[in-house]
Structure 1
Amino acid sequence: MRKSPRFGYSVIFTGLLALSANAMGAVKEAPSTVNAKYVTPSSTQVLTPGEKVANLFTLNMKTPYVLQRVTQRTYWYESGFYATLFYVGDKGVMLFDPLEERADKILQAIRQVTDKPINTIVYSHDHGDHIGSTAALLQLLVKTQNTKPEIIASQATADKMQLLDSQLPRPTKVISWPNGSFTFENLTVQMYGFEHAAHTDDHSAWLLVGEHVLHAPDLLNPDQPPFWNFGGSERFTFLVQNLEQANGLDWTYFSGGHGNIGSHADFAFYLQFIADLKSAVANAMQKVPFGFGVKMDQINAHTVMLPAWYGEISRLATEELRPKYGQYYGFETATLANAEMVAEYLYSYR
């Protein structure tokens, strides 16, 4: 059995939050990308379509977690900038993605609204920052319920966990890929796998059919421009197709694993941002000659040339977008990396 370091991105992030929360003063929240109506989060009041949680950055920095009732039975949870969903049925609870380092907080949030057992855990995809607390949660549940939850994942996720010798608890029920479904009590959950995925090869979107809620972590951060490397995506190549596939499904509320609660307006914003970014990168590629910034008489390896070229292209593209998008959440720290991924895509596929 291989051993992996426990010190992951989420652990680093949690430590930074602990250091910064006490020192944080009053901050001005970034403006909405979709002119959203903001409301104070509530574990009892159902969210009206299009509404978003107010002061979300501050809440993530200063409170243990944020809990918002989305529908009569579906709840949205976020802490430390990581989000997920749980559904309360007549007999039990279904939880998506036990987020890394958050088992105790997630269980506390669930117990805030129900004492029913957690019967089902669903893995959206095999990334440890989203499902890394499964073992810890199972240990907590041993003390409070008699039966272990069923763990559901797609065949693609199960195969990937097997191939990579995952140390996380394996699924006990596997559904077909790329399209599969299961029933939790009276609720149908339909999984739509991205056959050509940008984020990771087992990435998928999970539709709570009767609830009109879609859960697809790392596809899109609602109310924000794309995060660094498009949410840690392994490639940009298929992102637009993935966004269009998810946007075309029948849902009202979107859970993206980060950011706020989403709507179709967030998808429209993302697609427009990407279109503008591709245009800006293409413009920059025409302006920046290959070999820019490299003193040819002072190098002994050609490998410096491509990064220097991409770097200047990304800088120019970011500058072109700044007047339109510069005021939005995380623009300055994410757009350079995203522009570089787009430059690689445009250079490779013509």
Structure 2
Amino acid sequence: MTYRPIAVSLTAITLILGGQAALAEAPSTVHATYRAASADQALAPGEKIADLFTLNMTAPYILQKLTDRTYWYQAGFYGTTWYVGDEGVLLFDPLDGQAPKILEAVRKVTDKPITAVVYSHDHADHIGGTQALFDLLAGQQPVPEIIASQETADKMERLGSTLPRPDRTVAWPEGSFTFEGLTVELHGFAHAAHTEDHSAWLLVGERVLHAPDLLNADQPPFWDFAGSERFTYLQDNLRQADALGWDYLNGGHGNVGSHDDIAFHLTFIDDLVAAVGTAMGEVPWGFGVDPATLTAHTAMLPAWYAEISRRATEALRPKYGTYYGFDAATPPNAEMVAEYLFSYR
């Protein structure tokens, strides 16, 4: 399922309309040090890109150097990663609708051909630009090889995907491949929250982890925990990724990530679970539904969850309310947690 998150605020409206006024960016969830985006100067581990929301709203794309060979890209709040080898470029996730901009950004740092493309997982918003990219590279030799996990390849087959299929697969849930001497490890989430082929790809020598939709760095969890199909295994997925050897995380959205971002998410989730649990004990079944006008019992569960979500959100507001996207994201996340707590005891 494709989703396109857009942060709607007075800042966004002002920028869209071409006005001059702008609100301050939200505070960092991890007390980060910010630096201006640069394709030439690498970030130190833990540093983040300054004014990222404003850049997403005003710039064609943001390009940031992470290491001597690895780059971080974002446009329209969607991001990806590439590695420049001696002979070619390894590109992760040709984002839907962004092939021309991605190619332009790659060309800012190298004229080497894109020789391999990795699918992180089978969601079209992250890999839907593959054919458009290949069209732009028509005539290039060699033709880029598409690499994906076996689980992603199997899922594309099951669903009859119209996107270009992988040429090579990596064993699921743990496997690896080599690109010009760089080892790239697949760490699949055998029990995944986001989608069944969700995974983290570790560029071992670069200490960079590419794991779209695991978390939005420097933000509270995004809507439905980054579009996850379930909440059930999310904490385990975060801990699994945290245990790997990396300094930089590209979560596909949000800022450049660090281990502190995972710690923040785990703390936030613990607080949210506690707040939802408290609200579930306070809100009686049938809250918000008038029995005199009830024509179907199906109105009762949504009304119950909605009040639980509202109370849990307000309980977290003093601690988290000033952070990026809190009001839009927390209520649906609270409903997912309520469904989890209601289902598993």
Q: Which residue of 2 aligns with 1:178?
A: 173
Q: How far apart, CA to CA, are the structure 1 residues paired with 2:161 and 2:228?
A: 20
Q: How far apart, CA to CA, are the structure 2 residues paired with 1:298 and 1:22?
A: 45
Match runs of 1:276-287 below 5 Å:
276-287=271-282
Match runs of 1:288-299 below 5 Å:
288-299=283-294
Q: How far apart, CA to CA, are the structure 1 residues paired with 2:248 and 2:184?
A: 15
Say if 1:158 and 1:170, in contact at 8 Å, map to a contact too.
Answer: yes
Pairing 1:269–2:264 present: yes
Match runs of 1:255-266 below 5 Å:
255-266=250-261
Say if 1:31 and 1:327, in contact at 8 Å, map to a contact too.
Answer: yes
Instruction: Specify every segment of 5 or more residues in structure 1 that has no aligned partner in the other structure, as ranges.
Output: none
Q: Which residue of 2 aligns with 1:136?
A: 132
- Alpha-carbon distance, 1:324 to partner: 0.2
Q: Which residue of 2 aligns with 1:61?
A: 57
Match runs of 1:70-109 below 5 Å:
70-109=66-105
- Alpha-carbon distance, 1:210 to partner: 0.3
Q: How far apart, CA to CA, are the structure 2 residues paired with 1:77 and 1:115?
A: 17
- Alpha-carbon distance, 1:30 to partner: 0.3
User: What secondary structure sits across from 2:278 in the alignment?
Assistant: helix
Pairing 1:342–2:337 present: yes
User: What secondary structure sits across from 1:211 in the alignment?
Assistant: coil
1:339 maps to amino acid: A
Q: Which residue of 2 aligns with 1:324?
A: 319
Q: Which residue of 2 aligns with 1:237?
A: 232
Q: Deviations over 1:197-226 (max 9, x none)?
A: 000000000000000000100001000000
Change (3 A) 1:101 1:19: farther
Q: Deviations over 1:229-256 (max 9, x none)?
A: 0000000000000000000111111010
User: What secondary structure sits across from 1:316 in the alignment?
Assistant: helix
Q: How far apart, CA to CA, are the structure 2 residues paired with 1:19 and 1:227?
A: 23
User: What secondary structure sits across from 1:142 in the alignment?
Assistant: coil
1:218 maps to amino acid: D
Q: Deviations over 1:110-156 (max 9, x none)?
A: 0000000000000000000000000000000115x222100000000
Q: Deviations over 1:72-94 (max 9, x none)?
A: 10000000000010000000000
- Alpha-carbon distance, 1:13 to partner: 5.4
TM-score w.r.t. length of structure 1: 0.95
Pairing 1:306–2:304 present: no
Q: Which residue of 2 aligns with 1:190?
A: 185
Q: Which residue of 1 aligns with 2:119?
A: 123
TM-score w.r.t. length of structure 2: 0.96
How many positions carry a matched residue from both structures? 341
Q: Deviations over 1:286-325 (max 9, x none)?
A: 1000000111121121000000000000000000000000
Say if 1:27 and 1:58, in contact at 8 Å, map to a contact too.
Answer: no
Q: How far apart, CA to CA, are the structure 1 residues paired with 2:23 and 2:110?
A: 34
Q: How far apart, CA to CA, are the structure 1 residues paired with 2:280 and 2:70?
A: 46
Q: How far apart, CA to CA, are the structure 2 residues paired with 1:89 and 1:332?
A: 42
Change (3 A) 1:18 1:93: farther
User: What secondary structure sits across from 2:284 in the alignment?
Assistant: coil
1:68 maps to amino acid: Q
Q: Which residue of 2 aligns with 1:113?
A: 109
User: What secondary structure sits across from 1:298 in the alignment?
Assistant: coil
Say if 2:14 and 2:22, in contact at 8 Å, map to a contact too.
Answer: no
Q: CA RMSD in A?
A: 1.7
1:162 maps to amino acid: E
User: What secondary structure sits across from 1:157 in the alignment?
Assistant: helix
Q: Which residue of 2 aligns with 1:40?
A: 36
Q: How far apart, CA to CA, are the structure 1 residues paired with 2:233 and 2:337?
A: 11
Match runs of 1:127-166 below 5 Å:
127-143=123-139, 145-166=140-161
Q: How far apart, CA to CA, are the structure 1 residues paired with 2:216 and 2:191?
A: 20
